[in-house]
Amino acid sequence: MSGERTVLTIDTATETVVTGVVRLTASGEASTLAERTVHDHRRHAEILTTLIREVLDEAGLAGADLNAVVVGAGPGPFTGLRVGLATAAAYGDALGIPVHGVCSLDAIAVVAADRTALVVTDARRREVYWARYRDGQRTAGSDVAPPATLADALADQPVDAVVGPPAFTEPIAAGRAEEIGATHPTPAALASVAFDAISAGVAPPPLEPLYLRRPDAVELKDQRRKSLLPVTDGA
Render pLDDT for 144-183 as a digit per residue (tens, 0 to 9): 999 999 999 888 888 999 999 999 999 999 888 999 999 9
The pLDDT value given to residue 227: 40
Per CATH, the homologous superfamily of domain 5-105+184-214 is ATPase, nucleotide binding domain (3.30.420.40)
CA–CA separation, 104 and 68 (whole Å): 17
**pTM metric for this prediction:** 0.88
Q: For 41-59, how does the pLDDT look when each residue is reduced to its tens digit (9 = 90+)?
A: 677 778 999 999 999 999 9
pLDDT at 229: 45
Residues of the chain with pLDDT under 70: 1-2, 41, 214-235
What is the CATH code for 106-180?
Answer: 3.30.420
DSSP string, 173-213: HTTSSEEE---S--HHHHHHHTHHHHHHTPPPPPP-----S
